[in-house]
Amino acid sequence: MRRERGMVTAELATIAPFGVALAFLLLWVVSLGLTQVRIADASREAARMIARGESTSAAETVARRQSPDGASVRVTSDGGTVSVTVRATSRMPVPFFSGVGSRQMESTSLAAEESP
């Protein structure tokens, strides 16, 4: 029976790195999803604002406020249709690993201009 002493510790030491890697993978996937939702909401809200007749600068301000830091907003209007594209970089919310797995993400929303 003495030979089996410490087996749990050895097994845990072997499996622990995989658990940490899985936690980072899940955190990365959640950060990607959160970034995509934020930029999709920002582009949709800005497109609605411009379609209702509000100024482009006000819509860009709202889109930047709703997007992650460093996001870019591009607004185009063509034949009664407004297109708003928001681009942002997804980053993990862990200070030392914020650049690991970062991806450039984009969301475009279209809206028909409303007549007053």
25 falls within a domain = yes
pLDDT of residue 66: 94
Alpha-helix runs per DSSP H in 1-116? 7-51, 56-66
Task: Return d(Cα 85, Cα 106) in angstroms, integer.
Answer: 7
Query: Token match 């407004």: residue?
Result: 82
Q: What is the pLDDT of residue 6?
A: 66
Residuewise pLDDT in 10s, the chain (116 residues): 556 666 778 788 889 999 999 998 998 899 999 999 999 999 999 999 999 989 999 999 999 999 998 999 999 988 889 999 999 998 887 777 777 778 899 999 999 988 76
Q: How many domains does the chain have?
A: 1
CA distance 20 to 53: 50
In a domain, 16, yes or no: yes
Q: What domain range includes position 72?
A: 8-112
- Please measure the distance between the N-terminal and C-terminal CA atoms of the chain and give it in whole angstroms: 86
Is 1 contained in some domain? no
